[in-house]
Structure 1
Amino acid sequence: MRPLNFVIIFVLCLALVLFSIENTQPATIQIIEGIQFQAPISIELILAMGIGAVLAWLFGVWTRLQRLLVARQDIRQIRKQDNRIQELEQDVERYKAELQDQHRLPPASEPLTTNASLAQEVSTTDA
């Protein structure tokens, strides 16, 4: 990309130099009413291109600054969301542990019996 940029800038500068050599006639520039000056057309063109280049550079800097500010806000918001997610995950783990503690059955000393065997035990003890 750099070689292409170099070629484009070189061609534009060469065209500007050739135009400047051919156009040395003075022309009047009126900035606002009452303020005017005379300069060769080539100087006017160079000034106009220079002002345009400076304005384009300032616009580029302004745009990059705006993108940087937006990116910082996005990063700040993502960090807040990550912190909130971690807090919620910790809460979920704590709640899971509490539920496991509440639902944990005490260890059974004897094996569980069926209703039929329980009924036989009751009937034999009654007799």
Structure 2
Amino acid sequence: MPIPLRLRIVLLGLVASHVCCTWLGWELRDRSADLTAASAQVAQQTTRADTALVARQQDHTNTQAGAQAESQRLATQSARTRQFNTLQQDIDTHAKTPGRDRGDADAEFVRIWREANAGRPRHP
């Protein structure tokens, strides 16, 4: 085989090897970039999921706190309604007691109402 033909074959093999290495490098670079992008996307989705979980937990906590506050409000309202009904009965009883006038009943109503809503009067 003549030397120029051998040189051409070797040169063609070298060029082919160079092209293959270049293609392989690009392919690895692209796959590495794809892997990096996929990892970033997974991290972002994990962060979103964690944030959503925290938000759901906070919402649940707020709902529980709201239900507890509403329960306390209803209990307080129920107690005040009982106090008002007792007050109304006391006033009716006081107003119907023989020998008492209506002015005394009104003053007694105000005193009992204040005690029911603000506690007993403070003495200086």
Q: With the length of structure 1 as denominator, give the TM-score of the two structures.
A: 0.53
In structure 2, C-alpha distance between the alignment counterparts of 1:45 and 1:24, rounded to whole Å:
15
Q: Which residue number in structure 1 is paired with residue 11 of structure 2?
A: 26
Offset, 1:108: 4.8
Offset, 1:25: 6.6
Cα deviation, 1:19-74, whole Å, max 9, x if unaligned, reads xxxx95728xxxxxxxxxxx532221111111100111111111111111121122
Q: Which residue number in structure 1 is paired with residue 52 of structure 2?
A: 78
Structure 2, unmatched stretches of 5+, are: 1-7, 90-95, 102-124
**Number of equivalenced pairs:** 83
CA 24–52 in structure 1, closer or farther in 2 if over 3 Å, else same: farther
Between Structure 1 and Structure 2, the one with more helix by share is 2
Which range is displaced more, 68-77 or 55-64?
Answer: 68-77
Structure 1, unmatched stretches of 5+, are: 1-22, 28-38, 113-120
Between Structure 1 and Structure 2, the one with more strand by share is 1
In structure 2, C-alpha distance between the alignment counterparts of 1:44 and 1:100, rounded to whole Å:
83
Computed over aligned residues only, the root mean square deviation of the Cα atoms, in angstroms, reads: 3.2
Note if 1:40 corresponds to 2:21: no
CA 86–69 in structure 1, closer or farther in 2 if over 3 Å, else same: same
Offset, 1:103: 1.2
Greater Rg by CA: 2
In structure 2, C-alpha distance between the alignment counterparts of 1:103 and 1:92, rounded to whole Å:
16
Q: Which residue number in structure 2 is paired with residue 93 of structure 1?
A: 67
